[in-house]
Amino acid sequence: MNAHGKAFRYGDNVDTDVIIPARYLNTSDAKELASHCMEDIDKEFVNKVEEGDIMVANKNFGCGSSREHAPLAIKTAGISCVIASSFARIFYRNSINIGLPILECPEAVEGIKAGDVVDIDFATGRICNETTGVCFQSEPFPPFIQEMIANDGLVNYLKKEIAQ
Amino acid sequence: MSMSMSQKILAHHANVDSVRSGQLIMADLDLVLGNDITSPVAINQFKKFGVTEVFDKSKVAIVPDHFAPNKDIKAATQCKMIRDFARDKEIENYFEIGKMGIEHALLPEQGLVNSGDLIIGADSHTCTYGALGAFSTGVGSTDMAGAMATGKAWFKVPQAMKFHLTGSLQKWVSGKDVILHIIGMIGVDGALYKSMEYSGPGVASLSIDDRFTICNMAIEAGAKNGIFPVDQVALDYLKEHNMKTPVIVEADEDAEYEEVFEIDLSTIRPTVAFPHLPDNTRTIDEVGKVKVDQVVIGSCTNGHISDLRVAAEILKGKKVAPGIRALVFPATQQIYLDAMEEGLLKIFVEAGVAVSTPTCGPCLGGHMGILAENERAIATTNRNFVGRMGHPGSEVYLASPAVAAASALTGYITNPETVKENE
């Protein structure tokens, strides 16, 4: 499984309130949530994002509330992978549970600028910046997490478990 | 193998003798929580599992508290969805408006939390119940759905950090100042993925409400959970609220801590977190002149009866400064009733404070006190992110009920020590 697209670049401590402000949480409709994704810090994001693009940020990405609406908005907006120096733990869990691949890789974060085209191989954890030609190695997901992401999240994964 | 308190609780619930940090486990849950924001997403996921019942009707709690009482038609639709689900699945712990409270004050009060329990909630402040010696942590909606279906959740066993407390708090200093001080010290990711375990002779001097506040904001340091030892203060609370026999779990003497912090409670000053992160803290002595438009006292962090008592002590016989909007949110109906019987609500109303029914309301910029552009609030809530209480161009300063109440009297962020001195 691969991801390929241009990078959107953000800083430290991007919190769930800016990923999807609480004023829009009176719905759980993924498309509506996606239409407001990042708007409090980057009004142009929803206009510029294309299917497959990558989000790259510094440390503690997704801190704050437990709202699954945050990774859901990012995924539905078209983002195929988030790379950060570190992730807040509930966001990390939620992303995997809904099948949004996320990778911790401080070196890649350093080496990717806004607009760079990035290719990611989830099986190996290899992140390549095609614009600069530099590649980075992240810790690949353990097989059960890869399976969860391939199954679009925890629900399908657990369904199989329950069926057993 | 020696374990921290959190690790021991996880081991018990995974039915193994011991666990080590980093280990992935599947564990049995004592309680699964959701609210009106997170439960609709969870219910949609739950339906996909193809199961018809929740794993245990007595071990699921659903609380409409965020955009409730219904703030608009969409919120009403979400609240109806969770109400219908609770009725259909015969969930015993659904709390309708009138009985509802802010979830993290309500669940302990209703006796749904026991020491030694393993609890997950689709709300980040689920970590609050560590005050009673439970392992509790926030998760997302899909985890909630999986837990409702199976009664289980997967965990990565956290490393622990130890906060060794000595001394006792000065007058007008509270649990809020302790946790803001700690977050200021270690940063908003200072405890990322870890347990914050409290110990030491200073613990005994902290009220249960102080402990709820301290554990509540563990997530603001990135932690998985915060937890206090089960001492007489905790046992007294459990006895008053809970029919279950307390389970006392203690950390091993030689448990491994990634870091140990010594904190003398007597040296902690009233502390304020400036925008836009909870770790952007200053002591009240370093604040300077900061004008505010709104004062919010309440939330899962600071809507307990002792919080309201402190605020009332400062506001008694005085008036909110002209042009300032002050709002108080008792966290539960019981706290509301207690505040009424103690005469606190009368003090608030006579001071010019609006008193609300329990709701998360303004804390997350939902309703009941939203800020306009360039407006500024001092709030006893837990987050001061960009746009947290309303317009992206507004600001939230986090503080204790004492500092918030003192600020209501002057219109500026104010040291409660100075208000009393001026009497």
CA–CA dist B105, B131 (Å, integer): 11
Residue A19 main-chain phi, psi, to 5 deg:
-65, -45
Q: Give the per-residue pLDDT at B351.
A: 98
Helix A89-98 to helix A154-163 angle, to the nearest 10 degrees? 70
Confidence of residue A151 (pLDDT cuts 50, 70, 90): confident
Mean pLDDT of A38-53: 97
Share of chain B above pLDDT 70, in %: 99
Mean pLDDT of A17-41: 96
Domain boundary among B264, B283, B302: B264
A-chain residues near B71 (CB < 8 A): 26
Q: Name the helix (H) or strand (E) containing B326.
A: strand B325-328
Q: Is B17 exposed, middle or buried (0-12, 13-18, 19+ CB in 10 A)?
A: exposed
Q: In what order do the strands lie in the sheet with A54-57?
A: A102-104, A81-84, A54-57, A2-9, A117-121, A126-129, A134-137
**In terms of domains, do B277 and B254 share one?**
no
* Domain of residue B409, CATH code: 3.30.499.10
**Confidence check: pLDDT of B423 > 70:** no
Nearest chain B residue to A19 by CA distance is B386
**In terms of domains, do B59 and B30 share one?**
yes
User: Sign of dihedral through CA atoms B44, B47, B53, B59?
Assistant: negative
* B376: region left, alpha or beta (phi > 0 left; psi from -120 to 50 alpha): beta
**In terms of domains, do B277 and B214 share one?**
no
CB pairs under 8 A between A and B: 135
**Confidence check: pLDDT of B343 > 60:** yes
Q: Would you call A155 and B146 a contact, using CB atoms and an 8 Å cutoff?
A: yes
**In terms of domains, do B127 and B54 share one?**
yes
**In terms of domains, do B103 and B227 share one?**
yes
Identify which of A13, A22, A60 has the shortest CB distance to residue B364.
A22
Share of chain B above pLDDT 90, in %: 96
**In terms of domains, do B283 and B251 share one?**
no
Nearest chain B residue to A95 by CA distance is B140
Q: Would you call B143 and A65 a contact, using CB atoms and an 8 Å cutoff?
A: no
Q: Give the per-residue pLDDT at A160.
A: 79
Q: Would you call B142 and A23 a contact, using CB atoms and an 8 Å cutoff?
A: no
**In terms of domains, do B364 and B256 share one?**
no
Question: Residues B210-241: pLDDT tens digits?
Answer: 999 999 999 999 999 999 999 999 999 999 99
Mean pLDDT of B355-371: 97
Q: Would you call A66 and B139 a contact, using CB atoms and an 8 Å cutoff?
A: yes
Residues of A within an 8 Å Cβ radius of B: 13, 15, 17-18, 21-23, 25-28, 40-41, 59-60, 63-69, 71-72, 86, 88-90, 93-94, 97-98, 153-156, 158-159, 162
Identify which of B67, B71, B192 has the shortest CB distance to residue A89.
B192
> Which domain covers residue B257, as residue numbers?
5-264
**ω into B69 cis (within 30 of 0):** yes
Tell me if chain A has a CB within 8 Å of the CB of B224: yes
Q: Distance from A93 to chain B by nearest Cα, in Å?
A: 7
**In terms of domains, do B190 and B336 share one?**
no
Q: Give the per-residue pLDDT at A19.
A: 98
Nearest chain A residue to B279 by CA distance is A13
**In terms of domains, do B285 and B369 share one?**
yes
B-chain residues near A155 (CB < 8 A): 45, 48-49, 142, 145-146
CA–CA dist A151, A153 (Å, integer): 6
B-chain residues near A145 (CB < 8 A): none
**Confidence check: pLDDT of A121 > 80:** yes
Tell me if chain A has a CB within 8 Å of the CB of B25: no
- In chain B, how many domains are there? 2
Identify which of A18, A67, A153 has the shortest CB distance to residue B386.
A18
User: Sign of dihedral through CA atoms B188, B190, B193, B195?
Assistant: negative
Question: Residues B268-306: pLDDT tens digits?
Answer: 999 999 999 999 999 999 999 999 999 999 999 999 999
Helix (H, G, I), strand (E, B) or coil at B197: strand
Mean pLDDT of B158-175: 98
- Identity (one letter) of the amino acid at B67? F
Tell me if chain A has a CB within 8 Å of the CB of B23: no
**In terms of domains, do B116 and B157 share one?**
yes
Mean pLDDT of B95-99: 97
Domain boundary among B264, B282, B307: B264
Question: Residues B37-78: pLDDT tens digits?
Answer: 999 999 999 999 889 999 999 999 999 999 999 999 999 999
Nearest chain A residue to B72 by CA distance is A26
CA B177 to chain centre: 14
Domain boundary among B214, B239, B264: B264
Q: Give the per-residue pLDDT at A141.
A: 82
User: pTM score, two decimals?
Assistant: 0.96
A-chain residues near B48 (CB < 8 A): 155-156, 159
**In terms of domains, do B199 and B236 share one?**
yes
**Confidence check: pLDDT of A144 > 80:** no
Question: Residues A94-107: pLDDT tens digits?
Answer: 999 999 999 999 99
Q: Distance from B261 to chain A by nearest Cα, in Å?
A: 22
Question: Residues B368-377: pLDDT tens digits?
Answer: 999 999 999 9
**In terms of domains, do B396 and B313 share one?**
yes
Helix (H, G, I), strand (E, B) or coil at B192: coil
Q: Give the per-residue pLDDT at A1.
A: 81
